[in-house]
């Protein structure tokens, strides 16, 4: 599993999604936003290193 920092283009919040594939190649994904509570486009910001919870902010 890899954690990815995503930014919702609708509400602008940044949150972390754990998936087993490489999102970096996709650039942006259409995914459920836990804040908007609907599917929205998300920018893939960066990969989050395993075991590091630092730098994850709203
Ligand atoms: Zn959102």
DSSP-derived secondary structure for 1-58? -EEEEEEETTT--EEEEEESS--TTTSEEEEEETTTTEEEEEEEEEEEPTT--TT---
Residue 28 or 50, more confident: 28
List, as ranges, residues with CB under 5 A of the ion ligand 1: 8, 10-11, 33, 35-36
pLDDT band at 21 (very low <50, low <70, confident <90, very high): confident
What pLDDT is stored for residue 57 in this prediction?
53
Q: What is the pLDDT of residues 36-46, one digit of tens each?
A: 999 999 999 99
Q: Rounded to the nearest whole angstrom, what is the distance from the C-alpha of residue 29 to the centroid of ligand 1?
A: 12
Structural domains of the chain sorted by starting position, each given as residue range(s) with its CATH number in brackets = 2-48 (2.20.28)
Quick check: pTM over 0.95? no
* Cα–Cα distance, 41 to 12 (Å, whole number): 10
């Amino acid at each position: 599993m890899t954690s990815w920092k995503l930014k919702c283009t609708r509400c602008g919040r940044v949150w972390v999604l754990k998936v087993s594939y490489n999102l970096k190649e996709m650039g942006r994904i259409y995914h459920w936003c836990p804040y908007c509570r609907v599917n929205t486009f998300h920018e893939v910001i960066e990969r989050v290193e395993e075991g590091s919870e630092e730098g994850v902010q709203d």
